[in-house]
Amino acid sequence: MLSVGIIALPRSFWVLCLGTPSIDNNHHLKLIMEVKGPIPKKMLSKCAFKADHFDDRDRFLQHDIDKVTGKEIVKEVTVTKSSRDITSELLKSYGSSKEEKQMVLQLADLINACLEINPAKRITPEQALKHPLFTTKIL
């Protein structure tokens, strides 16, 4: 099951990392797949709300609002690979000095560890607090 740990990330997290707020769970899944790639079929088969976000062929059902009519539209989207890289996006915005670059790389590593789709491989809160981002002394 896709963990609440990923879905419950605050809107400010997405603005910080990707420059866009997460609107709802469907949009949140879209952002995760842009960064981490497709959700494995084995994991999808265990998701309680799979039918809300994926069709019977495991294509993502992207929910949007038509700007003209205001009605919801649903597009089938096949995600084959990640299309965004947190590290490069953060480095474009931050990291002019050697120390800042080091912190940005550590932040990107922590974010990627938090967004790990497989809960067994995802960083725990205890591990996150021991991450170099929080333990490295900046001169």
Phi and psi at residue 65, in whole multiples of 5°? -110, 125
- pTM for the full model? 0.74
97 DSSP 8-state letter: S
| Cβ–Cβ < 8 Å for 62, 74 | yes
Mean pLDDT in runs of 10 for the chain (139 residues)? 46 57 81 90 89 93 94 94 90 82 91 89 93 83
Q: Among all chains, which residue has been given the structure tokens 């469907």?
A: 26
Angstrom distance (rounded) from CA 39 to CA 60: 10
Q: CB-based contacts of 130: which residues, under 8 Å, 6+ apart?
A: none
| Best CA proximity match to 136, nearest among 111, 101, 112, 91 | 101
